[in-house]
Amino acid sequence: MTAAAAPTASSQGFSPRTILALVLVGIVSFSGLAVLSAYAPELRGAADPGAHALSSSAIGFKGAVVMLQAEGVPALVSRTPPRRRVPGDTLTVLTPPQVPNLKPFAQYPSLLIVLPKWAVTQMPLHPGFVLKYGDVMNSFAATEILAPFAKTTEIQVRPKGFSKPVLHGTGALFESGTYLPLGPIDNFQTLSGEAWEPMLVDEQGRAVLARLRARPGIVVLADPDLLNNQGVANIDNARAGLAVLNTLRGESGLRFDVTLNGYVRGRGIGQLVLEPPWLAATLCGVGAALLMGLHSLGRFGPTLRRDRAIALGKSALVDNSAGLVRMAGREAELAPAYAALTKALVGAAAGGGERAAAGRDNELWLAELSRRSGAADPAALTAQAERAKTRDDLLAVGRNLYQWRLEITRERR
């Protein structure tokens, strides 16, 4: 039986290519997540089956937008939140949820409010589809929604299921001879109230479309089935809804607001750095980061060996001795020894030979050499070294001795 071969020392857990691939996948994934997070409000809405202009469900209003655009009407979906500056004559269509806040829109001069009607639940196996299980609108809910415009608003619902109402004009913008037959509508919904003036009424005289008496530009549509997707699927309802929108907008365009439904277009830092003019700076930063990453993949310089915890040798002994002297505050006491060492080195370098090495008559010889060279007297330097008491005195002595050495030996600085 042969023994299994031991793994070689060069075997690795991961290959460099695998690690590089993982890093690249992580970078690309993180970049995609960052971009999608920045533009999440722009991408949401189509899959939400709510009652708004981005929804293609039965209670959504995307069909009305498509119908208007097909007729050449300048219709758009607005994600911009209301601001202090009131827009012009452009008709703004609001499709509020059950508990909206209409106060920011109270100053708009031309406004169509489509009341909610159906309570629905999303179908789990069919995204974008809904199942209705009742209605949500009553007089209390209508009064709460329209509180910024009227104190009370009453809601009436036909209890006989599907019916085919017929709408008639009242002379308020819609002429008295206006005749708009509707297709089948379940639980047909109307409204009433002292603050509301009927514009379109059914055959029973109940208002389906009404405007605020104090401000005729504020209009309420009681039944959303005239404009939502399930409503405009019927040609009669589509004609009636198109007639209502065209009459209210006049010669201007219109826009469907979806900010009440949570689809607000923000201007965060993410979108700011991903759009011109800051996009160029972002790309430069990403490029610089990539180049730095590529540069870091290659080793530069030799591998540094790990030093010993306790150093050995003369250098360590000198460093330790200097540290002890410094801790004891005895640096100035080294000045005479340093002066003697400097004079010995100068004597040897200047040609003193054995006399300088042995120290015989070295002081007299250095004094004569200094006099001829015009340098300082070595005896004065020795006396200065003996008088040193502080670290600053030691530095001054060392500076003078070094200058004297250069003048005698003619060394380069």
Amino acid at 61: F
Asked if residue 247 and residue 324 are part of one domain, the reply reads no
Is residue 243 domain-resident? yes
Domain boundary among 261, 286, 302: 261
Is residue 291 domain-resident? no
The pLDDT, as a whole number, for residue 146 is 94
Asked if residue 342 and residue 251 are part of one domain, the reply reads no
Asked if residue 239 and residue 91 are part of one domain, the reply reads yes
The pLDDT, as a whole number, for residue 43 is 62
Is residue 106 domain-resident? yes
Is residue 232 domain-resident? yes
The pLDDT, as a whole number, for residue 47 is 66
Asked if residue 355 and residue 246 are part of one domain, the reply reads no
What are the tokens at 150? 């009227």
Using CA atoms, how far residue 326 sits from 36, 316, 333, 334, in Å, is 62, 15, 11, 11
- Angle at which helix 62-70 crosses helix 235-249, to 10 degrees, equals 70
Asked if residue 192 and residue 92 are part of one domain, the reply reads yes
Asked if residue 114 and residue 248 are part of one domain, the reply reads yes
Is residue 139 domain-resident? yes
Q: Which residue segment(s) compose the domain that 324 sits in?
A: 314-409
Domain boundary among 228, 261, 294: 261
What is the chain's alpha carbon radius of gyration, rounded to the nearest angstrom? 46
The pLDDT, as a whole number, for residue 217 is 92
Distance CA 146, CA 65 (A): 24
Asked if residue 253 and residue 330 are part of one domain, the reply reads no
Q: In the 8-state DSSP scheme, what is residue 184?
A: -
Asked if residue 143 and residue 52 are part of one domain, the reply reads yes
Asked if residue 323 and residue 253 are part of one domain, the reply reads no
Asked if residue 370 and residue 239 are part of one domain, the reply reads no
Distance CA 268, CA 39 (A): 9
Residue 28, class by beta-carbon neighbours within 10 Å (0-12 exposed, 13-18 middle, 19+ buried)? exposed
Q: Element (H or E) spanning 386, and its range? A: helix 378-386
Asked if residue 210 and residue 96 are part of one domain, the reply reads yes
What are the tokens at 107? 């100053």
The pLDDT, as a whole number, for residue 145 is 93
Is residue 1 domain-resident? no
Is residue 30 domain-resident? no
Domain boundary among 200, 231, 261: 261
pLDDT digits (tens, 9 = 90+) for 349-401: 776 555 554 455 677 778 888 888 778 888 888 888 888 888 888 889 889 88
Number of domains making up the chain: 2
Low-confidence ranges of the chain (pLDDT < 70): 1-13, 40-47, 84-87, 266-268, 297-303, 309-311, 351-361, 412-413
Asked if residue 247 and residue 323 are part of one domain, the reply reads no
Is residue 5 domain-resident? no
